Amino acid sequence: MQNLQNEMQTWRRRLHMHPETAFEEVETAAFVAEKLREMGLEVCEGIGGTGVVATLKAGDGARVVCLRVDMDALNLAEQGNPPYRSRCPGKMHGCGHDGHVAALLGAAKLLSERRDFRGTVRFLFQPAEEPGKGACAMLRDGLLERFPIDEIYGIHNLPALPAGTFHTRPGGFFACEDNFTIVIHGSGGHASAPTMSSIPWSSRRRSFWRCKPSSPGTRTSPTRLSSPARSCTPTAPTTPSPAP
SS3 103: helix
**DSSP tag of 213:** P
Amino acid letter, residue 138:
M
CA distance 42 to 54: 5
List, as one string, the DSSP characters of 104-138.
Answer: HHHHHHHHHHH--SSEEEEEEEES-TTTT-HHHHH
Rounded to the nearest angstrom, the gap between the alpha carbon of residue 66 and the centroid of all alpha carbons in its chain is 22
* Average pLDDT per consecutive 10 residues, the chain (244 residues; last block may be shorter): 93 98 98 98 98 97 97 96 96 97 98 96 97 95 97 91 88 76 81 76 47 50 44 47 49
Q: Which domains does the chain have, with CATH numbers?
A: 2-154 (3.40.630.10)
Q: Which of 20, 35, 165 is nearest to 104 (CA)?
A: 35
CA distance 102 to 94: 15
CB 100 within 8 A of CB 185: no
